[in-house]
């Protein structure tokens, strides 16, 4: 349920320029991703039984006047219980649904993790990453360049910390999009990685490593590749 104090706008509306005003800058986008990660971690790990949202998408993320995100629309959410079947019909928003649902029909927290990965890439890119998702079916993330996941309407960040945060979001997003659900991180791991400002996951993009690059190299990554 979304409090009335929240603005009735979604990030998708903003990224598609359906509203007047400036395009959200990198810091705001990073904070939105972090906020949603924290909310999903709470749903998955802080209840007796995990709650799976099943429809994580930008159209279900609402923002208040301070650009703080709130996850909405729990109409198809599922409470997972270890002593009952978690099979279900495929539900959610096309373009965000975890691919394994099409043939297993089994819902798990990792379904939300995949959807979060799509949403995180969309926030970086400024539009739905349909082409990138399609390419992941045929190629490795090693072949994807950083510039391919950044919104071209924004200037490249000139702040080292912001640059590292963007890299972190990109790395985590691709980890969440792993076609093997067992290889995807938990939302608790994702949220903690954002809180501690480290990347405990394997780096999927060969063009950079947040652990190794100097400030000058970071600028090269954002301005050249």
Backbone angles phi, psi at 143, to 5 degrees: -90, 0
- 151 classed as catalytic: no
In which residue are the tokens 């409090």 written? 3
Among residues 55, 73, 112, 151, the one annotated as catalytic is: 55
The single-letter DSSP state of residue 58 is G
- Of 173, 198, 176, 194, whose CA–CA distance to 185 is shortest? 176
Q: Which residues of 139-174 are buried (b: 16+ CB within 10 A; e: fewer)?
A: eebeebebebbbbeeeebbeeeebbbbbbbbbbbbb
User: For residue 204, what are its two tokens?
Assistant: 């999927």
- Of 205, 192, 157, 221, whose CA–CA distance to 37 is shortest? 192
CA distance 7 to 125: 23
Would you please indicate which residues are annotated as catalytic (active-site) residues? Answer: 55
């Amino acid at each position: 349920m979304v409090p009335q104090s929240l603005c009735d706008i979604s990030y998708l509306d903003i990224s598609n320029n359906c509203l007047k005003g400036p395009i959200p800058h990198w810091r705001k986008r990073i904070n939105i991703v972090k906020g949603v990660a924290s909310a999903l971690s709470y749903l998955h790990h802080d209840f007796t039984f995990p709650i799976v949202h099943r429809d994580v998408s930008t159209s279900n993320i609402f923002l208040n006047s301070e650009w703080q995100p709130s996850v909405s629309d729990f109409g198809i959410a599922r409470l997972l219980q270890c002593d009952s079947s978690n099979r279900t019909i495929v539900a959610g928003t096309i373009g965000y649904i975890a691919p394994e649902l099409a043939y297993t029909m089994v819902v798990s927290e990792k379904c939300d993790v995949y959807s979060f990965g799509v949403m995180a890439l969309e926030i970086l890119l400024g539009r739905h990453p349909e082409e990138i998702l399609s390419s992941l079916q045929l190629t490795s993330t090693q072949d994807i360049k950083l510039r391919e996941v950044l919104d071209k309407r924004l200037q490249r960040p000139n702040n080292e910390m912001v640059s590292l945060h963007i890299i972190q979001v990109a790395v985590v997003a691709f980890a969440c999009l792993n076609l093997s659900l067992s290889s995807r991180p938990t939302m608790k791991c994702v949220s903690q990685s954002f809180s501690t400002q480290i990347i405990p996951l394997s780096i999927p993009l060969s063009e950079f490593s947040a652990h190794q690059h100097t400030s000058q190299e970071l600028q090269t990554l954002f301005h050249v590749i």
